[in-house]
Amino acid sequence: MNYPELLSERERPSSISLNLLEAFAAIALIGIAAHGYPADGEAKSLYATLSSMQLFASLSPEVMQRMLEKLQDILRHQGFVPLFKAAQACLPSDLYQTALVLTNHLIVSGEGHGNCL
């Protein structure tokens, strides 16, 4: 994505509605989707990481998968800026910070970017 595309995305109104869990997962998804969408290994790593968190313990594997697919569809069709803004607006400060730490962990550990590191 080039700079003019990013600016035009910022100007579009967002109609994205996320719940707390979707918003948290969206932050991590955006962080690992370096080339605009997550590769299969990146998505699997995100799924495994979120599944192991107490915050997501109430979600069945099917619900978790549908949630991640919804977020990937939003990312694919509307871009990362609207998704990020919707997620950021939904999360309380402490969960936003936790989502950023998790995303950093995925990236630094290589789980979020396969062989890109």
How far apart CA 117 and CA 104 sit, in angstroms, is 13
How far apart CA 117 and CA 111 sit, in angstroms, is 10
pTM of the predicted structure, to 2 decimals: 0.79
pLDDT digit string, tens, across residues 4-40? 544 455 445 568 999 999 999 999 999 888 666 677 7
Share above pLDDT 90 across residues of the chain, in percent, rounded to a whole number: 58
CB 85 within 8 A of CB 14: yes
Nearest residue to 34 via CA among 1, 5, 3: 1
